[in-house]
Amino acid sequence: MTGAKSRLLLIDDDSNTLAPLARAFRLAGHEATVCDNVARALEQIRTTQFDLIFSDVVMPGKDGISLLEDLKTAGITTPVVMISGQANVEIAVRATKLGAVDFLEKPLSTDKLLLTVENVLRLRQLENENLDLRRRLGRHEFIWSGTPMEQLMAQIDRVAASESRVAIQGETGTGKELVARMIHHRSARRDGPFVSLNCAAVPAELIESELFGHEKGAFTGAMGRHIGKFEQAARGTMFLDEIGDMPLAMQAKLLRVLEEGEIERVGGERAFPVDARVVVATHRNLEELVRQGTFRADLFHRIYVVPILLPSLRERAEEISTLANYFAAQVASQNGWKERKFSPEAIDTLTRYPWPGNVRELRNVVERVLLLSGNDAITADDVHKALPALGVGGDAAGSSMGTLTERLEAFEKGLLLAELRHHHHHMTNVARALGLERSHLYKKCQQLGIDVRSERKSE
């Protein structure tokens, strides 16, 4: 048995079939609902989520085949097993074409029925897992086209095959994490772990223990030994995300680890070697941070061995068509929607937008386009409607994107929204990232009509 209790719906006009069936299922721990006609069954299906439906084929009024047709039209995907007294190959074939998962002949044995429930539900579970896995893998696929990116991909391949440290730079949403994972998966360490730490998301006082671990009693609250990320990444890749946000004190400790190849747990007595390849990423300009004195020059030289610079989407505008249509297909398949493509005018509109949130933002906009419009090919107007929050929709929608001032405002607003999301609406961090005073940041949001509180809620 699958162990879990399942909700079954049994449809048959013959109560002599229904009653013993329902009893057998209930005895086996399932929940069984019975219906003696298809019309009532359809009402039940509309209000209750069943795991599996058993239906007779020949019934007065609507029969089992029209049940299958109705479910298909309504887009309901609950598996249906047909049961029939007068087995007939033609009907069985029709039922299968309409999506029935099995066809059983009466008289029915309890064992056979319970086995069918188990098999169908296990298959469904596997299908769901498979879909989930494909979705997750799909999320990690790096899509590109065009010659400049081809050169970058070749560079990524070369660096992946080496053991060098890699520093990935690029604006928010350009795919830095995807590239870090790709480097790991194409390296000799692919069977080892890929462990990541976002230096901007962990409070300064916790970074050391997160990275290097701690011994029991190392500090108040250290109840037991904690294995740090560096140790977890042994024989794999340690991805230090947002390295530009690492506090200076921690930079000194990281430098020692990179120089000596050894780590020491907080409160530990001795250092020991670690074998993790270090890949770092940042959306900031590290050289500039070094000049400002917020990033150590010696650490910079240690990690900036092979720099990979991911261009912004504005600089890769010729790829927008490939990316937009890829995301449209992906979003449609994830939601079971019909696949739709962007018209050339729609692509043109996308291309003229500045994309401060880069590919991540493009993906979100594509999703919004598909949600908000329902035509066949996606039009320029559909795209305009999906961009209102960024100030280029509404009245500006149509042939032009507004005056220079309007466009600059739209750009500024988009940039602020992207930074807010990136920093989970932590105003101090956003202000720091943009080099603004906090009070100025609040004023700017107000001017541009950004309601930080409601943005934060919708995160």
Judged by the rule CB under 6 A, the positions of this chain that interact with ligand ATP are: 139, 142-144, 170, 172-178, 283, 359-360, 363, 422
Of 172 and 343, which has the nearer Cβ to ligand ATP?
A: 172
**Shortest CB 194 distance to ligand ATP, Å:** 13
The Cα 44–Cα 42 span in angstroms is 5
Q: Considering CB distances under 5 to 8 angstroms, the limit depending on partner class, which of ligand ATP, Mg ion, none binds residue 356?
A: none
Q: Does 13 bind Mg ion (CB under 5 A)?
A: no
Of the candidates 342, 396, 330, which has an alpha carbon nearest to the alpha carbon of residue 369? 342
Q: How many residues bind Mg ion (CB under 5 A)?
A: 2
Q: Does 315 bind Mg ion (CB under 5 A)?
A: no
**Shortest CB 201 distance to ligand ATP, Å:** 10
**Shortest CB 314 distance to ligand ATP, Å:** 14
A 10 A CB-CB count for 100 gives 23
**Shortest CB 6 distance to ligand ATP, Å:** 35
The mark string for 195-234 relative to Mg ion (x by CB under 5 A, - otherwise) is: ----------------------------------------
Q: How far is CA 65 from CA 61, 219, 301, in A?
A: 11, 69, 71
Sorted by sequence, the CB contacts under 8 Å of residue 110 that are 6+ apart come out as 24
Of 116 and 174, which has the nearer Cβ to Mg ion?
A: 174
DSSP 395: G
- Sort 83 into a burial class: Cβ within 10 Å, 0-12 / 13-18 / 19+: buried
Q: Does 455 bind Mg ion (CB under 5 A)?
A: no
Q: How far is CA 347 from the centre of its chain?
A: 24
Of the candidates 389, 329, 380, which has an alpha carbon nearest to the alpha carbon of residue 352? 380
**Shortest CB 202 distance to Mg ion, Å:** 14
- Which residue, judged by CB position, is nearest to ligand ATP in the bound state? 175
Q: Does 36 bind Mg ion (CB under 5 A)?
A: no
Q: How far is CA 25 from the centre of its chain?
A: 38
Q: Does 345 bind Mg ion (CB under 5 A)?
A: no
**Shortest CB 137 distance to ligand ATP, Å:** 12
**Shortest CB 143 distance to ligand ATP, Å:** 4
- Which residue, judged by CB position, is nearest to Mg ion in the bound state? 177
Q: Considering CB distances under 5 to 8 angstroms, the limit depending on partner class, which of Mg ion, ligand ATP, none binds residue 139?
A: ligand ATP
Q: Does 142 bind Mg ion (CB under 5 A)?
A: no
Q: Does 284 bind Mg ion (CB under 5 A)?
A: no
Of 177 and 348, which has the nearer Cβ to Mg ion?
A: 177
Q: List the structure tokens of 418.
A: 């992207």
The Cα 212–Cα 274 span in angstroms is 10
State residue 449 phi and psi, 5-degree precision. Answer: 75, 30
Of 171 and 231, which has the nearer Cβ to ligand ATP?
A: 171
For Mg ion, the binding residue among 177, 348, 381, 455 (CB under 5 A) is 177
Cα pseudo-dihedral 292, 293, 298, 303, rounded to 10: -60
Kindly tell me the number of DSSP H helices and DSSP E strands found in the chain.
20, 14
Q: List the structure tokens of 113.
A: 């029925």
Assign 172 to helix, strand or coil: coil
The Cα 187–Cα 183 span in angstroms is 6
Q: Does 406 bind Mg ion (CB under 5 A)?
A: no
Chain residues that interact with Mg ion, rule: CB under 5 A = 176-177
